[in-house]
Structure 1
Amino acid sequence: MGRPGTRHTTSGRLRRAGLTREVGWFAVIGAASTVAQALLYWVLRHWSPPVLANLASLLVITALNTEANRRLTFRGSAVRALRAHLAAGGLFVLAYLFTSGAVLLFRHYRPTASPAQEALVLVPAFALVTVVRFTVLRLAVFERRRR
């Protein structure tokens, strides 16, 4: 038999290790997604207005981001792909409103801004949305039952 409290300490270490792994994968996926989203926005922005370029880039990258997080960040979760993508859809609406608001506000004050400048303004907005996504996905969507 082990010492008193050993099981509790071991489970705490395992949970911290799991959280560290999740945060690490989410950071890698989030950074890649933010860069990809900014680049895709910049490309699309040459042919479409800001809200449409944002919508298209956010749709594509959110789907890829959600699947990458489901497979890598939250692997081991019993959440099925459909539920994960439906939850991400709800987050998508909030992300779209926030990022579109950011780019439209920027365009209001800088109407002659280039698509590259708009994309740079969107990077911190995408990053903030990514932090909110992690929190919601971890706590509500991919929550593991603790006994």
Structure 2
Amino acid sequence: MEAIPRQQQSAAPAAFTAFARFVLCGGGVGIAAGFAVAALASWIPWVLANALITVVSTLLATELHARFTFGTGGRATWRQHGQSAGSAAAAYVVTCVAMFALPHMVEAPGAVLEQAVYLSASALAGVARFAVLRLVVFARNRSVAAVTARPAHAVVAARDLVPADAAELCRAA
């Protein structure tokens, strides 16, 4: 009998665990990116620094999410990087729309209100992004990991579940 090689992939973490990891990884990368933009902006224009750091931080966060947050056990694919970038762009649009709409809804919003609106929009976009990453971007890898992580002896054929004389039992009934 030929042995089937097992891949060392972990099972997908529960939703709460994955969300906590998402916040930790994404938040950590976000904080580091904020400092990096400020440092880089002292050498190059802020818009260019922000664009550069956004690309790098999105790539880094996607790798962390693939390896740690969603338990795929490997590197992110180019497809996953593209989808993750798309979800990050959508989250960026949500925060921009919220900040653009604020002065149209409140005549003179103060700094505290602006920060509250920005953080609320970011939180809403973050929850939506988590759902997209978990259910779409990394979903395929989770199902593959669940199948490939099974030991060969755990796969049971349907014929092994039915007694050989099941037909006889059915006819007798």
TM band (smaller chain): 0.5 to 0.7
| Higher relative helix content | 1
Q: Are residue 122 (structure 1) and residue 89 (structure 2) matched? A: no
What is the identity, as a one-letter code, of the residue corresponding to 1:103? M
Question: Unaligned regions of 5+ residues in structure 2, if any?
Answer: 1-9, 148-173
Q: Which residue of 2 aligns with 1:75?
A: 71
Q: Aligned ranges for residues 77-96 of structure 1 at < 5 Å? A: 77=73, 80-96=76-92
Q: 1:64 is matched with which residue? A: 60
Q: Which has the larger radius of gyration?
A: 2
Change (3 A) 1:80 1:36: closer
Select the residue among 95, 99, 117 that pairs with 1:99: 95
Query: Where in structure 1 are there 5+ consecutive unaligned residues?
Result: 1-13
SS at match of 2:72: coil
3-state SS of 2:97 partner: helix
Name the Cα RMSD after superposition: 3.8
Query: Offset of 1:101 from its aligned partner?
Result: 0.5
- Identity score, percent: 29
Q: What is the Cα deviation at residue 25 of structure 1?
A: 0.7
1:133 aligns with 2:129: yes
Distance change >3 Å, CA 104–CA 78, structure 1 → 2: same
Matches of 2:99 and 2:54 in 1, distance apart? 13
Q: TM-score, normalised by structure 1?
A: 0.59
TM-score normalised per structure 2: 0.52
2:32 and 2:120 mapped to 1: Cα distance?
Answer: 13
